[in-house]
Amino acid sequence: MIYIYYFFYKMFRNLFFKKLFSVLIVFFLIFGMLPLQSFGNYSQNYFIVTAYYSPLPGQKFYLTGNYKDEIRLNGKGIAGASGKKVFSGMFAAPKKYDFGTKIFLKGLGAGVVEDRGGAIVPAGQRGYNYDRIDIWVGYGDEGLRRALYWGKRKVSGDIISGGSDITFNYKDIPAPMWVTKGLKKISDIFTTNIGIKTDSKKIVELQKFLTKVGLYDSEIDGVYNKKVIDIVFDFQMRNNIIKGEDSLGAGYWGNKTRNLFLKKYLNGEFDKDNKEKQDTNSLYDSLFVGVLNTKKKKILLQEMLTEMGIYEGKIDGDYNKVRDIILEYQINNNLVKTKFSAGAGNFGPKTRNLFKGLYDKHLEEKKRKIELEKKFKEIEIIAQKIADEKIKDIGNPKFGDVSKNVRALQKTLKILGFFDYKDTAIFGNITKKSILEYQLSNKLITNSKDSGAGVLGPKTRKSLKKDLKNFLFEKEIKNQELDKQLLLNIGVWVL
């Protein structure tokens, strides 16, 4: 009986394993031939996926501001590192992935590695937890918009069979206009010299641009007019590109001028909503919230007090060095009565609020000083221009001349207090005597017998220009009731 049971058990067991083996064979024959992406949950791998594009000359926008730097960032965009021309489905990957390796990215499709990049690194480098893949997304402004829209994302994916089709299509990634809203639109006026004899179309472009940044408010007529010249001249003077109206290139939209203008434009210095903004909290924000319980915070406190002119000691995070300063301000502002009062010398909530108010006030004063300095510089430029024009009008009159140049000379001497007569336009003894008195007063000569005494020579002309500029500057400061003493008190430049 036992033998019968054993016989049937062995028979059924062999039959079961044979069938199971057959089923497994069929399973692997069917599913082993399918590409990996046929499975819904085929991968447990991830990549950091970014996007790049091929820049073109004349784009409306460049992330870096210009075509040359854009190529440096993205490459020339003609071919990948493998030598193959760019195409939809081209991926850049770290060197651990051979050229020709195909990768499937969930939500994007399959692509092939045919490019490299200095920033395309494996996991563990540059702070990445996963291998980085860069996907090519097209040409020109549209490609830039796609790359910006995509940004940097964590995407699941895996290596797939070399025989798999490339299914990634870069046009599936949106390229909305809004992504370039914050970028600066670059005009070719920054690649062209522009002056009086330049083609009117270029001048129109310059006028439109200067209007856009709030500097030009006259007719867009394609004429390199006085208004344009003045704007360019003022910019050149303000940035020390030229020394005066007689300098080479004064008022001309040349190489140095346009390059510096472009740099400042890209940095936002001409944005209408970016006029001397001051962040009242600044980097000391953390000081006014929570307990002063770290060395970093104590160093920040010392730095803030130093900036405010309250502390002159070493910046080392030693709170004991500023404790007496804190106590003094607490007593003066009725937060504590004596050094034995509760909280005396501590940077507690009430004390934090006190110093936040003091620092905000300090920033307001700093902002005012910056505005005044800027205003003073503008007035100086205007005064210099007027002085240049007036001295130019004087010309080189000589004793015995009767002309408008002499009248201009007499008016200038009158402004400076050296000609107390009616301007006659006659260069006679009175005018000569006035020049002589001016020269002696300014130590241009030692006595009336010196060579050049009573003569309008180069030194006298230069001195007249300087004194006239200073007179006009002081007059305008007085007219505008500007606080010149405020700048003098803090050692800021004034004439």
Tokens of 131: 């291998």
Nearest one of 246, 203, 252 to 231, comparing CA atoms: 252
**Least-confidence region, from 262-266, 281-285, 310-314:** 281-285
Average pLDDT estimate for 54-65: 80
Are 384 and 481 in the same domain?
Answer: yes
Confidence of residue 266 (pLDDT cuts 50, 70, 90): low
Pick 133 or 287 by higher pLDDT.
133
Residue 359 lies in a domain: no
Residue 8 lies in a domain: yes
Average pLDDT estimate for 120-133: 90
Residue 340 has a pLDDT of 94
Residue 274 lies in a domain: no
Confidence of residue 271 (pLDDT cuts 50, 70, 90): low
pLDDT over threshold 50, residue 238: yes
Confidence of residue 259 (pLDDT cuts 50, 70, 90): confident
Average pLDDT estimate for 129-143: 92
Tokens of 276: 């001397």
For the chain, percent of residues with pLDDT exceeding 70: 82
Are 14 and 77 in the same domain?
Answer: no
Domain boundary pick from 131, 157, 180: 180
Residue 173 lies in a domain: yes
**Least-confidence region, from 166-175, 265-274, 362-371, 405-414:** 265-274
Domain boundary pick from 266, 284, 310: 266
pLDDT over threshold 60, residue 483: no
Residue 64 has a pLDDT of 74
**Residue 268 dihedral angles phi and psi, to the nearest 5°:** 85, 15
CATH of the domain at 418: 1.10.101.10
Task: Characterize the bridge pairing of strands 109-115 and 152-160.
Answer: unpaired
User: Which domain does 299 fall in, by range?
Assistant: 292-347
pLDDT over threshold 60, residue 223: yes
Pick 376 or 270 by higher pLDDT.
376
| Predicted confidence (pLDDT) per residue in 319-362, tens digit | 999 999 999 999 999 999 999 999 999 998 889 889 988 998 98
Are 252 and 304 in the same domain?
Answer: no
Nearest one of 152, 141, 149, 200 to 173, comparing CA atoms: 149
Are 413 and 480 in the same domain?
Answer: yes
Alpha carbon of residue 198 to chain centroid: 30
Residue 358 lies in a domain: no
Residue 406 has a pLDDT of 95
pLDDT over threshold 90, residue 177: no
pLDDT over threshold 70, residue 280: no
Residue 194 has a pLDDT of 93
Average pLDDT estimate for 304-319: 92
Given a contact cutoff of 8 angstroms between Cβ atoms, the answer to whether 469 and 385 are in contact is: no
Task: Characterize the bridge pairing of strands 46-54 and 132-139.
Answer: parallel
Average pLDDT estimate for 216-229: 89
Nearest one of 484, 270, 473, 246 to 372, comparing CA atoms: 484
Residue 47 has a pLDDT of 95
Residue with the two structure tokens 């001397």: 276
Domain boundary pick from 224, 249, 266: 266
pLDDT over threshold 50, residue 434: yes
pLDDT over threshold 50, residue 31: no
Are 255 and 306 in the same domain?
Answer: no
Are 163 and 76 in the same domain?
Answer: yes
Residue 324 has a pLDDT of 95
Q: Look over the chain and give the mean of its residue pLDDT values, rounded to a whole number.
A: 82
Residue 395 lies in a domain: yes
Confidence of residue 427 (pLDDT cuts 50, 70, 90): very high
Are 223 and 297 in the same domain?
Answer: no
Nearest one of 98, 96, 100, 101 to 122, comparing CA atoms: 96
Residue with the two structure tokens 């991830």: 46
Given a contact cutoff of 8 angstroms between Cβ atoms, the answer to whether 149 and 65 are in contact is: no
pLDDT over threshold 70, residue 489: no
**Residue 247 dihedral angles phi and psi, to the nearest 5°:** -70, 150
Residue 50 lies in a domain: yes
Residue 41 has a pLDDT of 37
Within 8 A by CB and 6+ apart from 248, the residues are 242
Nearest one of 396, 392, 390 to 413, comparing CA atoms: 390
Beta bridge partners of 155: 47
CATH of the domain at 115: 2.40.40.10
Given a contact cutoff of 8 angstroms between Cβ atoms, the answer to whether 215 and 265 are in contact is: no
Are 332 and 392 in the same domain?
Answer: no
CATH of the domain at 219: 1.10.101
Residue 323 lies in a domain: yes
**Interaxial angle between packed helices 226-238 and 349-394, expressed in degrees from 0 to 180 and rounded to the nearest 10:** 120
Residue 384 has a pLDDT of 92
Are 423 and 464 in the same domain?
Answer: yes
Are 50 and 156 in the same domain?
Answer: yes
8-state DSSP, 280: S
pLDDT over threshold 60, residue 458: yes
Number of domains comprising the chain: 5
Are 330 and 398 in the same domain?
Answer: no
**Least-confidence region, from 328-337, 371-380, 417-426:** 371-380
Given a contact cutoff of 8 angstroms between Cβ atoms, the answer to whether 209 and 188 are in contact is: no
**Least-confidence region, from 8-12, 166-170, 414-418:** 8-12
8-state DSSP, 188: G
| Predicted confidence (pLDDT) per residue in 62-97, tens digit | 887 777 777 777 766 788 899 999 999 999 999 999
Are 472 and 377 in the same domain?
Answer: yes
Query: Which H or E element spans position 376?
Result: helix 349-394
pLDDT over threshold 70, residue 32: no
